[in-house]
Amino acid sequence: MNRRRIAFVGAAVVALWLAGCAQVSKVATGEVTVQERLSVTLDRPWNQFEGAQGDGVPTWTQEGITVDTLKFYVGLKNGGLLAPTPTEPKGQAPLEFKSTMRTGEIVALFERLYSREGSTFTLDRVGPDTFADTPGFSFEFSSIRKGDDVRLRGVGWGAVHNGELFAITYTAPRLAFFPNGVASAESIARSARIRK
């Protein structure tokens, strides 16, 4: 087995461990501040994984971390990595954000993030949008997750504010879960405010 597959199996084990043992806390309805920089308003409670998914990205879910995920990328500075993981293979270019990136380049980072380990990523739409009172972008995509063959749909909103990237993405299985959860995810994204 090559190291990539070993890493994948390891990641799966870690994910299972996280799902079974990691601390999960309730995020109550109302206004919540994520990483002290991004305020959002929830129309219903969510579950937060304290350990994120090993990448330091705050991750919320309704149905479980292997089903639907709402992820927050908060105040990523120039040179910061989108989702650094300890198992990042050597030789793979890091997902490095640059303040000068335009939307297409930022979405390309998410494309590579969701293509990790051979998952597919198809960009369905990207266009200008407003996020956190800042001119930004939104995008939609489809993906087939390697490992369990689940077909996902995803959506993201983001903006670069004073050289820092703020973004929220939501992914879920395309049947039932995504249609059921996307409205709540979008409501959270539309409520986002950057704290000074």
Partner 1 sequence: MRRRQWLHWGCACCAAVTGLAKAQSPWVPPPRFTRPDVASEEGGLWALMDREETRVRRSPFCMHETALNQYLSEIACKLGGDHCPDVRVYAVRTPYFNASMAPNGMMQVWSGLLLRMENEAQLAAIMAHEIGHYLQRHSLEQLRDVKARSAFATAMIAFGIYGLAGQLVALGGAYAFSRDQERDADRISIELMRKTGYDAREAAKVWADLLAELRANPAVDPTHESVLFATHPPSDERRDELQRLSVHDDGQTSEAAYKAQLAPLRFGLLEDEIKRGRFDESVVLLDRLLAREPEHGDLLYFRGEARRRRNGAGDAALAMADYEAAVRSGQAPAVTHRSMAAVYRSMGQGEQARAAWQLYLQAAPDAPDAALIRQYLEEAQ
Cα–Cα distance for residue pair 141/126, rounded to 1 Å: 9
Please say whether the beta carbons of 47 and 62 come within 8 A: yes
Is 125 a binding residue for partner 1 by CB under 8 A? The answer is yes
Cβ-Cβ contacts under 8 Å for 191 (sequence gap 6 or more): 39, 40, 41
Among 26, 86, 149, 162, binds partner 1 (CB under 8 A): 149
**Min CB(158)–partner 1 separation in Å:** 13
Contact call for residue 12 and partner 1 (CB under 8 A):
no
Question: Binding to partner 1 (CB under 8 A): which residues in 83-102?
Answer: 90-93, 95, 102
Do residues 25 and 48 touch, judged by C-beta distance below 8 A? yes
**From 111, 161, 190, 191, residue interacting with partner 1 (rule: CB under 8 A):** 111
For residue 142, which of 129, 132, 151 has the smallest C-alpha distance?
151
Q: Which stretch binds partner 1 (CB under 8 A): 44-52, 59-67, 126-134, 155-163?
A: 126-134
Rounded Cα distance between 130 and 158, Å, is 8
Q: Which residues bind partner 1 (CB under 8 A)?
A: 1-6, 9, 90-93, 95, 102-105, 107-108, 111-112, 115, 118, 120-121, 123-128, 137, 144, 146, 149, 151
